[in-house]
Amino acid sequence: MDWREKCFAALDAEKMFEDSGHRTRFKELMDCFSHYPFFNKGVCKCVYLSAWDEKHFCVMLETLTDMSLGKDKDTREMSVKGDALAEEQTDDEYYVYQLSIALLNGKPFHISASPDMSAETRYIIQRALRASEIIDRL
């Protein structure tokens, strides 16, 4: 079993996928991009987070496609794009993009005590942090 299969199996065994759509989107991105040199655990964590819904999946699909076509060997451009997207956000999306940047760069992320963060966003962040721990153990 290769790393991609182990990762998917570990997340699935821990019931980390919210529904079949989340599972399918994650698997599609893994199948398409995990063999590129830029694909590392940080990218995998971002893939898990982005697979949560169609909107974020499309952003990640576009980003990874651009990286694969540009023959990127690292995640420098992805990090720059993430920073730019985070700065454009004025709602809970800001926290999601900040988490993505932290996951990508292997930095710690702590859920803000901000009262304006919705319960849904807080839940997504908690699940992504749990998935990150699982991925780190592989």
Looking at residue 113, its pLDDT comes to 64
Instruction: Render pLDDT for 10-65 as a digit per residue (tens, 0 to 9).
Output: 999 999 999 999 999 999 999 999 999 999 999 999 999 999 999 999 999 999 99
Taking CA atoms, 123 is separated from 39, 49, 66, 111, 126, in Å, by: 26, 12, 30, 10, 5
Q: Which helix (H) or strand (E) holds 39?
A: none
Give the pTM.
0.93
Tell me the per-residue pLDDT of 81-130, one tens digit each, with 9 for 90 and over: 888 988 999 889 989 999 999 999 999 998 766 678 899 999 999 999 99
Give the pair of three-digit tokens for residue 18.
């919210």
What per-residue confidence (pLDDT) applies to 114?
67
Length of the chain: 138
Distance between CA 100 and CA 124 in Å, rounded?
A: 12
